[in-house]
Amino acid sequence: MYHDVRLRLTKLFTAVLSGLLAVLLGVCFSFSVRQQFSLQLSSFTGQSYTVFESLSEQSVLTSRWLASHEENAGFRIYLWDNGVELFHNRDHANQIQPEYLHYLSAQTDGRTLHPQEKAVDVSVGKHGLLPEVLYYQKHLVKNNSLLQVCFLQSLKPLYVRIGSSLFLYLTLFFSSLCLLALFCWYFTGRLLQPLLASQESQNRFIASVSHELRTPLAVILSNASACEKAPQAAQKTFFQVIAREGAQMSVMLEQLLTLSRADSHGLSLRIEESDLQTLLLETYENFLPLAADSGHLLSIRLPEADLPLCPCDAARIQQVCHILLHNALSYTPAGSAVLLFLSEGTYEKEITIGVQDNGPGIPDEEKEHIFDRFYRTKSSSSTGKDEKGHHGLGLAVAKEIVSAHKGALTVADAKGGGAVFLLTLPTLTC
In this prediction, residues 361-387 reach a mean pLDDT of 67
Q: Which CATH number belongs to the domain containing residue 128 in this structure? A: 3.30.450
Are 251 and 385 contacting, i.e. CB atoms less than 8 angstroms apart?
no
Residue 206 lies in a domain: no
80-89, 93-102, 284-293, 329-338: range with lowest mean pLDDT = 93-102
Looking at residue 383, its pLDDT comes to 36
pLDDT at residue 84 above 60?
yes
Query: Which of 128, 154, 180 lies at the terminal end of a domain, its last residue?
Result: 154
Q: How far apart are CA 414 and CA 357, in angstroms?
A: 7
Looking at residue 385, its pLDDT comes to 42
> Does residue 147 sit in the same domain as residue 274?
no
Looking at residue 387, its pLDDT comes to 46
Looking at residue 99, its pLDDT comes to 52
> Does residue 285 sit in the same domain as residue 409?
yes
Amino acid making up residue 198 = S
Looking at residue 381, its pLDDT comes to 40
Looking at residue 279, its pLDDT comes to 92
Q: Domain of 371? A: 270-426
Q: Which CATH number belongs to the domain containing residue 381 in this structure? A: 3.30.565.10
Residue range 146-164, pLDDT digits in tens = 888 888 888 888 888 889 9
- Phi and psi at residue 366, to the nearest 5°: -95, -20
Residue 285 lies in a domain: yes
Residue 16 lies in a domain: no
Tell me the residue length of the chain: 430
> Does residue 149 sit in the same domain as residue 278?
no
Residue 190 lies in a domain: no
Looking at residue 369, its pLDDT comes to 81
Residue 177 lies in a domain: no
Q: How far apart are CA 217 and CA 263, in angstroms?
A: 26
Residue 173 lies in a domain: no
Query: In which band, very low, low, confident or very high, does the pLDDT at 409 lie, cut at 50, 70 and 90?
Result: very high
- Interhelix angle 156-229/235-263, rounded to 10 degrees, is 160
Looking at residue 390, its pLDDT comes to 58
Query: Which of 154, 184, 212 lies at the terminal end of a domain, its last residue?
Result: 154
Looking at residue 110, its pLDDT comes to 40
Query: Which of 154, 188, 203 lies at the terminal end of a domain, its last residue?
Result: 154
Are 370 and 323 contacting, i.e. CB atoms less than 8 angstroms apart?
no
Pick 383 or 401 by higher pLDDT: 401
> Does residue 419 sit in the same domain as residue 290?
yes
Looking at residue 90, its pLDDT comes to 46
pLDDT at residue 245 above 60?
yes
**What is the CB neighbour count within 10 angstroms for residue 173?**
17
Enclosing H/E stretch for 304: none
Count of structural domains, the chain: 2
Looking at residue 324, its pLDDT comes to 92
Residue 2 lies in a domain: no
Q: How far apart are CA 165 and CA 37, in angstroms?
A: 13
Residue 115 lies in a domain: yes
Looking at residue 361, its pLDDT comes to 84
